[in-house]
Structure 1
């Protein structure tokens, strides 16, 4: 049986698969930043009463399977994750202490897909990203 969550008048299980990229798809997510982002995404999701079910950070994009309560809009949660995360990156990696307006780490858009009953398929796809990406890198494509 599925593990449904509850609000005052709602039983729910809303999961979404989200992908977003750094500005200009730069390959900057590695080393200390990669570890930092993993921790900060989980903390920020928890603050919004969300839970990251599965996630994987690639050098130039992020895959997240996240459970979001129906009272929250997906766009607000993604905007919150990307915005607050950019501020933390500026604080911890760029040496800025204030005046965070205009910090642009992430590109403006994102991809979202409702998971539904295919949750295990989506989670496996996210887990296998490293293998899939290295297989794709073997081809030298110029596009």
Structure 2
């Protein structure tokens, strides 16, 4: 994989590590729900021409390592991915809307974003390590 990507008048390398959680950090991201969340995230990233490098979905948060073209602001990118994923998940899993604490919101309000510089391999290992630790914790 070449480090830099090209647009018509730009050479770029914009890599981000993004973390966000379900509302109230409920530990619900498992089974079919986690598979749907992963599918949605990948689809909406591809739609925005972003490249998913790593994606990990432990029970109570999402880790996404992604390359986002510089013409897309990171706040718009995360807003689109979280918003459209929430809409699709709440439409597919209607039982979530029945709970009084969900309302029309699936994700918590904020997110954490970090730019990845020369240590991208460390970040990739960290994302994978988090998933392994979560599995050990659950057993």
The equivalent of 1:7 in structure 2 is 7
Aligned residues: 133
In structure 2, runs of 5+ residues without a counterpart are 98-102
Cα drift, residue 131 of structure 1: 2.9
Measured against aligned partners, the alpha-carbon deviations of 1:96-130 in whole angstroms (never above 9, x if no partner) come to: 8xxxxx72000010001001111111011001112
2:34 equivalent to 1:39: no
Counterpart of 2:100 in structure 1 is: none
Cα deviation code 1:44-94 (max 9, x no counterpart) = 001111111101001100000011001110010000000000110111111
Inter-partner Cα distance in structure 1 for 2:134 and 2:39: 23
Q: CA–CA distance in 2 between the matches of 1:3 and 1:134?
A: 32
The equivalences for 1:1-143 within 5 A come to: 2-94=2-94, 103-133=104-134
* CA–CA separation in structure 1 for the residues paired with 2:50 and 2:135: 31
Shift of 1:28: 0.9
Alpha-carbon separation, structure 2, partners of 1:134 and 1:47 = 31
Rg larger in structure: 1
Backbone CA RMSD of aligned residues: 2.0
Distance 2:40 2:136 in 1: 29
CA distance in structure 2 between the aligned counterparts of 1:34 and 1:63, rounded to whole angstroms: 12
For structure 1, the residue ranges without an aligned partner over 5 or more in a row are 97-101, 139-143
CA contact (8 A) 2:57 2:131 kept: no
Q: TM-score normalised to the size of structure 2?
A: 0.88
The alignment partner of 1:91 has SS state of helix
